Every structure is written in structure tokens, then in C-alpha cells.
Amino acid sequence: MPSHPPLALAALALLFTIPLRAAEVTVEKAKEFDPSRIKRVAFLPMARALPRGEELRAACPVTKRSFDSCAMEDAAEAELSRALARAFLGSGAQVQWIPQSEINAAHDMLKKEGAVSLNLHGSWQAAIGKELSADAVIMGFIYCYRDRSGTAYASARPAAVGFCLHLVDPATGEVLWTMRYSDEQRPLSEDLLALPEFIKRKGRWIRVEQMAEEAATRAASELPWKKKPQEKKVR
């Protein structure tokens, strides 16, 4: 009779093919930055940071740092912007988020007046911040937003998301806070330390929309201001 591997070994072999990898997150703050002075914030829609020529890396227009890039879905900016906006509004941060309608109106007015060049280097973002009397603007750039190919249990190409966010003082142009986020699903055999991701994703190859929601939740948790704890009532 042919011999069969023990059930435990078979299960282990299967486990090592399950998609799993923890996202890579880096956060930096300016040395003298005081988050408590930020009261009114505008979150501006994300923009694409495209690679040059045939290179596989894209440079952030603000920090000039380079990142691994990938092909992006057509709705990348809209989908990630919506996910981030929802997460920021629900984060409990003690700031006033300027409504998107006001941001759009300021953008249209500045564009019509030709008051600013609409480029990706921060000039129009700072101009909008000034127009809205914002203490800071959050601007960001996507350099990877790829959906999976295949199904939840068999994917030839995994989903991937990569972007950077910057909290900028519109009065000075100073970058007060920066977050870089990169995530691409890989088999468990390539990363044994990311078990929380395995549990959260139920061992499945997820879609890029779900990855964007996860990324937005993480970004909201990394914002430089925190919700003030509620005071306990003394009986």
C-alpha cells in the first residue's frame, strides 16, 4: 500500500501556501511638531506617483524618496481616497475635518483664477490649505494599487497597495508628519510572523478594495493626534 504523510504534515504543507504578510508601515514626525496646535485639517484626494520610463520604482513628489511601483487599477485614486476619508472621519481625532465640498470649491476657484499651477509637488495643495484657513493639509500619492487575479483561494497575482501620506503646514510648506504604507500578500512560508493578518483575512487572497480599507484603518490609527480619553466620573 502507498504510504501517506501524516495528517499533521499535510495540514502544515497546506498552511504554508496560505496568503499572508504583514503590511510595512513607516511613520516620521518633524522634530518640533506639536500636534495639539492642529485644529482644522483638509484631506485632499490622492494622486498617482508614476514610475519614469521603464523603471519599477516611483519617486514621492514631496520627499523625493523612491518606492517599488506596480500597475494600478483605473479607480485607484478614488477608491483609496474614499477609504481614507471614511477612516479619518471615524478615527475620533480631536480635529475639524474640512468638508470635501469646501475643498472642491476652493480647488475649482483657484484653478479658474489661475492662481496656482496644478502639479504634484505640493503647491496647489498648500494654496488650497491657505484658502480654507486650514492648520494643515493631508496629501498623498499612490505608487501601487493592484487587484488580485484569480479567486479567494487560488490567485496567480496577489493584491498590492502602496502609498505615502504627508501632513503639511500650508503657511510654510513644511512636512510635519509622513506615513509610508506598503502591502502585498505572500504565502505564509515567506513570512511566519504575520499571524494576525492570517486570522483577519481568513486565509484568503483578498481584493484590493479590502486591502485599501485595511490600509486606511491603519493610517487613521497612526495620525499624530489621538482622541482624548474620557474622564471617569467619581462616585
Report strand pairing: 96-97 vs 40-43.
parallel
Tens of pLDDT along 95-108?
Answer: 999 999 999 998 88
Domain ranges of the chain: 21-221
CB of 183 closer than 8 Å to CB of 221: no
Mean pLDDT score, 208-213: 92
User: What's the whole-number mean pLDDT along residues 152-167?
Assistant: 78
| Alpha-carbon span 222 to 28, nearest angstrom | 10
Higher pLDDT, 200 or 214: 214
Cβ within 8 Å of residue 93, ≥6 positions away: 220, 223, 225, 226, 227
Q: The whole model's pTM is what?
A: 0.77
CATH of domain 21-221: 3.40.50.10610
Query: Where is pLDDT greater, at 68 or 170?
Result: 170
Sole residue written with cell 494643515: 136
Mean pLDDT over all residues of the chain?
A: 78
- What nine digits make up the cell of 221? 490609527
Per-residue pLDDT tens over the stretch 129-150: 888 999 999 999 999 999 877 6
Residue tagged 504554508 (cell numbers): 16
Strands 24-29 and 175-184: antiparallel
Burial bucket for residue 203 (CB in 10 Å: 0-12, 13-18, 19+): middle
Q: What is the pLDDT of residues 66-82, one digit of tens each?
A: 888 888 888 999 999 99
In degrees, to the nearest 5, what angle opens at C-alpha 193 toward C-alphas 147 and 5? 90
Characterize the bridge pairing of strands 149-150 and 40-43: unpaired
- Residue 141 has a CB neighbour count (10 Å cut-off) of 23
